[in-house]
Structure formats: structure tokens, C-alpha cells
Structure 1
Amino acid sequence: MKHSGLPVLSNMYRHAEALHTEGLRYHRNTSSLFVIQAHAATVTINNHTHRLEGFSCVCLPPHTSIHFGKDLTETSTSAGQLRFYACDYEWIGEESSTDSPLMPTLAELNHASLLDQASALFDAYENRLYNSLSQRLPVQAQFMLLFADASWALEQPDCISFTQQLDGMDQVISYLHTHYDRKIQRDDVVSLSGLSLRQFTSSFKQRTGFTFNEYLNRIRIDKVKAIMLQSRQSLNEIARQVGYSDEFYLSRKFKQVTGMSPTIYVRKPHTIASLDHAYTLDLLSLGVTPCAAITDTWVNGHFQLSQVSPSFHPLYWQTQQSRRLQILQSVKPDIILYPLAEGDDPHIEPYHQVGLVIQIPWRGVTWKQHFMNVAQLTGMEQQARNWLDAFDQRAGQIREALRRTLNPGATVAILNVRSDRSLIYAYGYMGADLLYDILKLTPPQAVASMRVQGLEHPEFSIPELTGYDADHYVVSIENNPAARLRAATMMKSPEWLARTAVKQQCVYPVDMTKWYGYGPAALGAQLDDVIHYLLPHLSKKT
């Protein structure tokens, strides 16, 4: 665990109950330290599964999922008992140029001392009355002691690493997907695999279902499909991009793989599956119902998906990858819209075997540009332009009505309460783009400063509410008991009752699933809420 900085506790959670059949998945964007007590349970990280029995601790780097499950080989009625404390933390004072990446590691412990430390830390963390420096520092000191003891255990040579090293065949497949545009000789990849030619030929066919040349051609043809569907480049230009000599050779290979010419492929209708909420909103706003898609209760109800298409298969964020793949294999989509992650995604390969995987970037792209990219993919650019023109016209009318109706300088803040934290939004999601950039409403000074600094949605504590005073509050609450309890506690506090929006009865509860959406239909529905709360005279007319 080589790090030059110091760990600072940012949040803490406790779990203490028997595991359900589907197990328990935990994923955070920060580093995490787990201290665990388990009986006949399993832990899975990076597709590696280890049996848990007794006490252990696990360090988890950012953006890494951990899944706790029952040990199905255990016949005892107490199988799947699990208790853990999870500490989310961030490194400060890092020298990133010299630090090696933190790998998932597990240490098995002989006693409960670390668990007792974690329990005491959790009690101190939960029982803070205020978020003042005098109360935070003792908690951080406790965490540092816990982290030091856990680090010692995790540095021992008998610890279990969950790092997934690529075997020879994995390296070959990764190389082909990365360098498909080059001239690749079979002898080069045979050498990369570390196998003999005979072993390579047999193993590659068994692993992929194709010969080396067939597989390379399929990668190239998939790239050709994606480029044709997303651009207006000539076949000659595309051929050079994927490693073919010219458009005639490309067309011949394309027909060998697909049974049709490139021109016919582009013109034929395609079934689409969406594995990202934003893609789903884009498609549905265009009137395209995907065969399977990531959705939520608001999207289901707003588009009446169960009535519009009985063959539609809903997917949710909590749907396990194995179940997603099972559904996709049954519906056989032509195109799978897959979220674009930073760096390599180890989970994407199985989806390539189901259909054409297309990833549309978000970085540096507005929701309107993202919408147009999906429209181009489906051949519905004109429908998208019509939708955006109608939205812009309506938003402009509402912007002018708000300018005439609201007091000059009136401020609006966007609060979001979740089970484990409370957030204030400055730009992008949860309606910030709509309120501040499209409707030109005024954020509180502190939020305006956050927008300048590029802070999207920092957390806030109840005492910090005083710094986010506003004339109007838009409040969304996650739909679960813990979030509702957190919101109720906040709304009984003196800090909340003293806020201008609260005293003026200008607090507007909104549906979090609707306001979380960052796509055409969601922004249109959010605009309806703005009219309802801030322009009630217009709401009655419509």
C-alpha cells in the first residue's frame, strides 16, 4: 500500500444482518476500508471470489465494486452471516507521480480487535452533534489509528490480492481490440500469448468461437458499423481507419461477415439496447423504444413502457451483470449502447459477443450534443432538431416569465438528500443545468462560487445550511427510509427553520428520479415542475 499522502475519513457505514439470496454489492468512487466479521460468506472483487470465515479487513481502491454473497457450499442454517464497517476515505497530500496504484487486498485476522476499533469509530462518527473542527478531529484521529493497524495487517506477505492479471489469451484479445487498425500477423500474437502455434489455434477458437483471422475481421467490421452509423465518412476513409487497404476490400469482408453490403446495413432498421440512463432518455425522447434498457420508476411511468411495448425488458442499476447478459442474449439487440468509462472496462468483452457495442462520450459534450449523437445513430436527426427547437422555444418563454415574476436577485438552490449524504448541486445534473444555464435563475453566492471552481455537487452538513441560504429551495429526496429520516432530521433543525425559503414557504419537493435524469424528456418534465412551483398562474392555464 504505497502512498505518500494521508488518509482522511469522508464517510462511514455499517451492515449487520444475514445476507439475502442476491447478496450485497458495494461500490464507491472513493477508497474504502472494510473491517468484516462473517460466517460462511464469500467476497468477490475483480471476478475473484474468496470465502470469508471469522474476521478480516479489505482495502478497496476507488471505482471498484465488492460483492458479498452466501457460501453456497455451506449447509448450516447460519450460512451467510455478515457484519462489516466500511470507511470511505480520501488521500490528501499525494505525490501522484511517484505513488503506485492501490490494489484490492484482503487480510484474514485472528481476533476481533480491529472490528472493535471500527465499532467504536462508527459510534463516534454517528454521535457527533455538529460538524465542527473540534468534533471532526478526534474522529479523524480514531480513524488514523484504525487505518494504521489495518495497514499493518494488509502489508503482511500472506495477504490475498484481488488483482486480475491478464493471461496470455487475454493479452491477445486486448491487443486485437486496441490495435485492429494495424497490420497484425498471426505469428506476432502467437508470440504474445506464450503458447505454441498449435496450442494458440486451439485455445483461441475455444475462447472466441472463431479463428484468428475471423475474429480480427469481426472486430474491424464492428468498427466499420459504428463509424458508418455515427458519421458520414466515405468507405475509403473508413477502410483506412480500420486496417483495410481500400473500400472494395472492406465491402468484400463486410459481406462475408454480415451477409449484406455496407449500404444495406446502414439503411436497415436496428434493434437497440441501452445500458445507460442517459441513452434511454435520448431514445425514448425520439420515440424509439429499446428492446432492453436501464430505466427507473419515473421513466417507466412517464413513457408507459409496459403498455407501449410488451416486449420491452427493463434493466436497473442494481441488476447484476450476469442477469443483464442473460436478458440481452435473449432479445439479441443489433446495437448495445454501453456507458463510456475512464480507462479499460474489464466487463465490456462479453457484450461484444451479443451485439455491436457503441459508446458515446460525455466528456466535453452537452446533453443536447449527446442527444444529437444518439439521433444520428438512429437516423432521426430531424426529429431531434424538432424536439430541441420546441424545448428551446418553451424554455425561452418560461425564462421571460420568470424574469417578470420573480423578485430581482431572487436566489434558487438545489438540495438533494440521500441515505448516506446530502448534496447541493451547482451545475449539470439534478436540474442545475436547467435552472442556472437555461432559465438563468440566480444561485446563492456560495453556489455561484462552486460553479466557478467546477464543483458539481459537494456534500453539506446541517450546520453548513447557513451558507446556502436562498429565496427558493428545490428539494429531492432519495426514495428510501434512511434518506427520508435524514431529510426529516434536517427539516427539524434550527438551521433549516431559519432559512429564507423555509420561512417564506418556498420549498419545492420534487421527484428525485425525474430530476436525476440528464436527458431531453427529463429536462422537459423538470420544466413542468418549475412552472408548477414558480409560475402557478401559467400552470393553471396549461
Structure 2
Amino acid sequence: MEYKNDKTSVEPGSVYMVAGPEDVKFFVRTDPGAEIALKLYKIDMQNMADKHRKHPEPGENAWEQHNVVKPNVNVQVDSNAGAGLSLASASTPTVKTFTYGPWSACLEYIEQLYRQQFSADCYEKWDVQIRFQQWFRDMVRQNDAGLELHNDRLSLQETVHYIDTHYDQMITVDELASRAGLSRASYTRHFKRSTGQLPLDYVNRVRLERSKQLLQVTDDRLHEIASHVGFSNEYYFSRRFKQYTGVSPGVYRRHHRQEVRVFAPYLEDFLLALGIKPIIQGSHRAWGRQRYLQLDDVPEFDVSQLDSGFLTDHTPEFIMLDMGYKTWNLERLEQIAPVYYVSHDGEDWRTILKSTADILGRNNRVQDVIDTYEHKVSRARIHLHDRVRQETVAFLRVSASEITLYGDECGYVGPIIYQDLGLRPHPYVQKWTRGKRGVNIGLEQLNQLDADHLLITFDTRNSCNFGEERQMLNTQEWKQLPAVRHGKVYEVDFMTWMNYGVLSHNKKIDDILRFMG
């Protein structure tokens, strides 16, 4: 690039900012003999304030005076954004070199300017100015050494905000990386670390959350909603929506408009917590139904019987199943009504409650349920701390064929009694069950379980005769346990404690307070 008596080497994939007197001419030439095809974009920037010193003639639009766009020749745009750049004095030509990554994003911006160069539409002319300002800002940011270290996190936050406000537009990872001043790979890595999601997954989540709102409050058709939130067609939108929520957009909308007849075997706890009464309840030939829910007037469906069916008056319109459906072959129920499969672990009961509320139109109930539980936990924890102090606790599930010791990290009981209530697990609880919901132990291990308090429930599933599951109580190993000798063994209801629902968790706290408080 030659000017006056000087020249600057030009490299492909770079941006050169040139400043100097108006009478200085710049030329770009290839080296003699070089075989290179050079595609050059030349952008002439003039200060808007200088241009607007001239008052327009009557009927002339002052905005239209500075919108000529001619890539490879002239791209005249305004740049107040560059006011902070110090490039040259009024008499000395100066060239400053900038990098721009990824280069594909840079070219995309310039090509967009090129495509709109001859438009007569005032809004497209406006778009030219906006696009240039965005490109110029990104270039300056990427090359500002003072911002580089400080602004990585801020830049990520800005792109998240950009997604939140521009989700209805086409968004690419290259564009987001450019806005953050990072390479695509680096941006993706930092974004995943910051949000827990890949950039395009986050974009789709924002779009789907917005579509849920539109399904609830508008009568817009699905293709209209899909287009409004940024999906290219209704089919792709519906497929992504079901992957995200577990139900189709039509089912989701219907549940937010009317009451629905629900069957959710062994998930009824979540329904009742949200004020929804199931049309039919699950039961098991060995365990029975969840009597603590007091659904005495609701018919039962035995999940353990392959020929179980629904009465005409109690056929559900919607079915919810946890991952136990595989054990009972309940996938056959897909022929009856739409099925939602709960994929979260039971320990994550808050998420299950929220997703249940979302697909059944009860979002307004969720936070009250969670707040009430957490308030109860807080009061119970203080109360138990004053009374139990450093005494140890263990929980046993006993059947005719095995003894199961439940852990302190996961499972039906550990997160409640050890984490929420702060009770101290016996050392063997932590040692033997590490990373597991529970482990089977023999009488020899039972004899070592000298916890101060024992909670116990009896599982009748493997009992051939009445009371067979209680035979362990007659063993010498059991009778010699400190908790047994001191009268600190507490029997609890099987179906209440072998459950992940918030109502069952509340009853567990009530039991603990009654026994130990």
C-alpha cells in the first residue's frame, strides 16, 4: 500500500486503518511478478458531524447524504465509534494494522454492507450504518490490549445479553465469538464454562422458553410462534420443543388452558403438591399404594400386572412416568395418551416439581411449595441440633431376603436426614455407601453398626409368609445393637420413606421430629 513516498506491506486477512490529509492518495499494488488474486474492500469513513454542518435543501433528507456503499471501490459510512482512536496528525499519513477473528465473521459483515449498497429503502440504509458500527466496534475491541485481560468475562456476558435480546434473528457462533473478541474455539470453551451450555444450545433454550410463554398467552399458530422466536420452520420447532420439554407444543398449550386428567404412577406426590388430583393412582401388588397421600377415592392401576387397564370413566388424557417404567413395561401406555418421561434423578425433586408444574400449567404454585419446605427444614434443623448434637444416625430397609443400608449422599433418605436436617451419619454409612444410594449388608456388618439412632422400614415384596421380613429382629446381632438396647429404633412407613416427592419429604421431617425432637 503506497502513499506519498512511503509504503506499508499488506497481508491477507488484515484490516488497515489509514489516516492523513485529504489530498494524500493511497494505492494498493501487488509485488512485481507476484501471482496473487487480491480482493480488496475499501471503506471511506467520514465524520457525521462534519457532514451535517450543511443544512439540507428543502425536501432533501440529510440522512441520505452519506449512505453510498461500494465495496472494492468506496464504502462511505459514518464512524463516531472511532473517535477514541488516535491514528495520525492532520499532516502526516499513518497506517494502523488490526486483526479480526474469526476472519469469516469480518467478511460476513462487509458482504452484508455490499449487498445493501444500492438499496433505496431508508431502513436498509439505516441497517448499513448499524452493521458498520457493530463491525467497527468489534474490531476495536479485539485489538484493545487494555481491555483484553479485563473484558473476557464482560464480553461473554455481553454476548449472552445479545442472545437474550436477538434470539429471533439468525445467530452464529462465529458472530458471537467476534463480538467477544475471541476465536470460535476459545469462545465456545469459555461460554460452556460460564453457562454450562454450548452457545447454540443456549440460543435454542432462550427461543424455547420464549415460545412457552407465547403458547400460554397467545392463540398464534405454531408456525407463527416458530418464526417469531427464530426457528426456520414449524416441524423443526416442534421437534426441538418436545426434546426440551418432553411434550409437544400442542399438549403444552392445552395443559395451560384447561384441567387435564393425569395418571402418574408413584409420582402422585408431585401432582398433589401442585394442587392436581390424579384421575387414577399407581399401586403394586406387593407394596400397595401410597396411603400417606390419602387418595382413598381414586381408583388404582397395578403397575406390576401386564394386563392392567383403565376403566372408561378413568382413562387418562396425559401420563407421566419415571424411569421405573422399564421395570414394569409401561411404555405400552403410549397407546393410551401422550406420555411424559421424567428423566431427572429423584434426588433432584425440585427440578421434577418445576417440570411437572410447567407441563401441567401450575408454575404459579412451585415457589410456594419449595419455600414452605425450606422454611420447615430450617426450623427443624435448628431444633434437632440442640437435641441430637453429635449422636449418629443410620437408616435400614429390611426385607425377608436382605438388609439395605442407605447412604448419606443420595437415595430416598440421605439428602433429607443428613444434608437438609444436618443429622450425623454413622461412620460406616459414609464408608460403606460412598457414591451409592444404598448397599446390602449381612448380619456381621449389622453387628458393627453401633449408631445412636436407627431408622428402619420393612419391605414386604420378598415375603412369602406374613411377617417374614421381620425375622431379623429376632437375631442376636440385632438385639445387641446400642440403639436397640437403648430404645432408639424408630420404625417408619415404607411408602412414605421410599419416595422422592416433596410431600413425603415433609412427612420424613415430621417423623424425625416426633422421634428425636
Instruction: Give the TM-score normalised by structure 1.
Output: 0.47
- Max radius of gyration: which structure? 2
